Amino acid sequence: MRQAEEILPPEALERVAEIGRADLVVGVPSYNNARTIAHVMRAAQAGLAKYFPNVRSAVLNSDGGSRDGTQDVVRHAALGDVQLLMVSHPMFPIHRLTFPYRGIPGKGSAFRCIFRSAELLGAQACAVVDADLRSITPEWIQLLIGPVLEQGFDYVAPYYLRHKYDGTITNSIVYPMTRALYGVRVRQPIGGDFGLSGRLVSRFLEKDVWETDVARYGIDIWMTTTAVCEGFRICQSFLGAKIHDAKDPGADLSDMLVQVVGTVFSLMETYESVWSRVETSHGTPVMGFPFGVGLEPIAVNVERMIGRFRTGVQHLAELWSLTMDPADVATLRAMASLPACAFRFDDRLWVRIVYELACAFHRRVIDREHLVRASLPLYMGWVASFVQEVAASDAEQVDARLEALARAFEEEKGYLRQRWDGYAASPPGQGAAAPHQ
C-alpha cells in the first residue's frame, strides 16, 4: 500500500493525529454541494450522538475542490441544539474534519481519503453518505453502522425507495447483472450510502484501483462486488426514501454509464472464477422496518430518449453488428421506425445486448470506452420503453416489472457463459454460439 503522505494532504494528517482515535467514522464526499451538505453533516452528527453516545466518533468531509463554499458550510455545520432532543448525551465530542482529496477527480478518490483516515483513527466501523441527500435522518447512521457493530456484518448496502424513473442505470443493468452474476440480491449496489467494517476498509485500501477510472463513478459497484466476491458478510438496511438531486435519465449520463458499466464488465474478468460457478440467486438480509413514503416526481423526456435511440440506430448499427446477432440488429432497426406510442424494448433482447456488450468488452473487439459509450442510445431506448410501460404503475407493479427483468438476466446466464468463451471462435449469428432466435 502507498504511504499515508501520498494519500492524505498534510493538513488532514495533522488533524487526524490531533484526534488520535475514533471508533466510528462517517464520511461525506462532496463537490459543489453547499446547498445540501449542512443538512447531511448535521444528520450524521445527530445520528452518532443519539445512537452511539459512548463511542468516540468523527465526521469527515472529503471535498473535490468545490467552488461554491462547500467546505465553509461544513466548518459551520455544528450540531447546535439538536442534542436537546437526545435521550442520552454523548460522552465524547464528535469531531468534524473537512479537507481536499488527492488523486483522480471523482468519488473514489474522496472515499480513499475517508477510508485512510478511518484506518489511521482505528475505526471499527465506517459509513459513507452522499452530500446531496435531502432525505437523510439521524436514523440512517444507526442503520448503516449498527449492523457492523452489533451483528458482525462487514458491508451494509442501502435499501431505499426511489421514484420509478430514478436509478435507471441500476435498474436496467447494474442490479440485474450483479444478481445474475454473483447470486446475491443487493437491490442498490451503487446506492451511494454504505456501512463498512474496519477490516473491509483496510481490504479496500490494499487494492490497486485508486488511480484508475474506478475512482470516478465506478467506486460503488466496485466496493459491492469486491465485498460479495471476497466473502465478506453483507446485509441491506432499509433507509426509507432516497430524495436527492436526481437527474433526468434522458439527460447526458454518458460518462457515468461508461464508468459504471465499464467497471461492471471489468470486474467480470477479475471475478470470473466466482460468477462462472453461480447458478441461482438468493436474498440478502434487510435490516430496519420497511414503510411506504412519498417520493418527489422526476420529469422524463421520452421523445428525446427515443430520438437518441433512433439516431444511434442510424449511425451505430454497423458498429453494433460487430457484437450482436444480425437478427437483433434488424430488430433494433425496425424499432427505430415505430411511433413513440408503440415503442417497446423486449426484455430478452435487452439481456442479450448487455451480455454481448460484456463479451465484446472482454474480447476487446473495439476500444472498450468506445464500445460502452456507443451503447448509450440502446440504454436510452430501454429507459424510454420502461417509462412508457410503467407510466400508470404503482410501486408494487414497478417492483414486479423489475423483478421480471432480473429473472430474465438469470435465465439467460447460460447464453453469457456460451458467448464469453466462444466469442472469438463463433462470431455473432454463426455456429453453436449463435443467440436464440
Q: Which domains does the chain have, with CATH numbers?
A: 4-287 (3.90.550.10), 302-422 (no CATH)
Rounded to the nearest 5°, which phi and psi values hold at 404?
-65, -40
The answer, yes or no, to whether residue 206 has pLDDT greater than 60, is: yes
Sequence-distant (6+) residues with CB within 8 A of 334 are none
pLDDT tens, residue by residue, 324-341 = 999 999 999 999 999 999
Amino acid 217: pLDDT: 75
Rounded alpha-carbon distances, angstroms, from residue 209 to 40, 111, 206, 229, 404: 28, 12, 9, 16, 34
Measured distance CA(150)–CA(142) in Å, rounded: 10
Q: Which residues pair with 24 in a beta bridge?
A: 57, 125
Range with the poorest average pLDDT among 8-22, 123-137, 174-188, 218-232: 8-22
Measured distance CA(13)–CA(59) in Å, rounded: 15
Q: For residue 4, how many other CB atoms are within 10 A of its CB?
A: 14
The answer, yes or no, to whether residue 427 has pLDDT greater than 70, is: no
- Going by their DSSP bridges, the two strands 286-287 and 194-197 should be labelled as unpaired
Concatenate the DSSP letters of all residues of 54-65 into one string.
Answer: TS-EEEEEEES-
65: left (phi over 0), alpha (psi -120 to 50) or beta: left
pLDDT tens, residue by residue, 158-174 = 998 888 888 899 999 99
| Helix (H/G/I), strand (E/B), else coil: 317 | helix
The answer, yes or no, to whether residue 128 has pLDDT greater than 50, is: yes
Burial status of residue 236 (CB atoms within 10 A of its CB: 0-12, 13-18, 19 or more):
buried
pLDDT tens, residue by residue, 405-418 = 999 999 999 999 99
Amino acid 424: pLDDT: 40
Q: What is the chain's mean pLDDT, rounded?
A: 87
Amino acid 93: pLDDT: 64
User: Which secondary structure element, helix H or strand E, spans residue 145, and what is its range?
Assistant: helix 138-151
Task: Please name the residue that has the C-alpha cell 463479451.
Answer: 359
pLDDT tens, residue by residue, 270-305 = 999 999 999 999 999 999 877 666 666 788 899 999
Model confidence at 265, pLDDT cuts 50, 70, 90, reads: very high
The answer, yes or no, to whether residue 428 has pLDDT greater than 60, is: no
Measured distance CA(137)–CA(314) in Å, rounded: 47
Amino acid 79: pLDDT: 56
Positions of E strands within 123-271: 125-128, 155-161, 184-185, 194-197, 234-241
pLDDT tens, residue by residue, 217-260 = 789 999 999 999 999 999 999 999 888 775 555 555 678 889 89
